[in-house]
Amino acid sequence: MQQLNLPTYKFRIKSTKNKYVIFDIIRKKYVSLTPEEWVRQHLIHYLIEEKKYPLSLIGIEKKLTVNKLTKRTDILIFNTKGLPHIIVECKAPSVNITQNAFDQIASYNLKLNANYLMVTNGINHYYCKMDFENEKYIFLQNIPDYI
């Protein structure tokens, strides 16, 4: 898999039925190792090991309904009260981050009201804090550490 602009972690990867799978420590199972999943697994480990978010506050592929369509967040981090705190949208490294990715995550946030949004393809990362009062987002240098 492609080298990402994130720290390197030890992953449990195996080959099964002519495809590779990677162990997801949140879902506690092996999942298909796609380029997007490679980015997501790096982000999960980054959030846990570097930013110190507890595993218990991280959700993967949480369902929500947007305009009568069922959608899923790539990574959703909750605060200690169980409310959405950070939404992360992961793209494959070959996918350029465009306004469409921000529009996608912003539409999710109309339902979730998270304080922070992150969009990444593993190479480029964009972080922003929601300014609900002025209905805009403020770009940041990084996502906040767990407090």
pLDDT digit string, tens, across residues 18-55: 899 999 999 999 999 999 999 999 999 999 999 999 99
What pLDDT does residue 67 have? 81
114-117 long-range Cβ contacts below 8 angstroms, 24+ apart: 114/76, 114/84, 114/85, 114/86, 114/87, 115/85, 115/86, 116/85, 116/86, 116/87, 116/140, 116/143, 116/144, 117/86, 117/87, 117/88, 117/89
128 within 8 A of 117, measured Cβ to Cβ: yes
| pTM: predicted TM-score of the whole model, two decimal places | 0.92
- Tens digit of each residue's pLDDT (9 = 90 or more) over 81-114: 999 999 999 999 999 998 888 888 888 898 899 9
Q: Which residues pair with 84 in a beta bridge?
A: 78
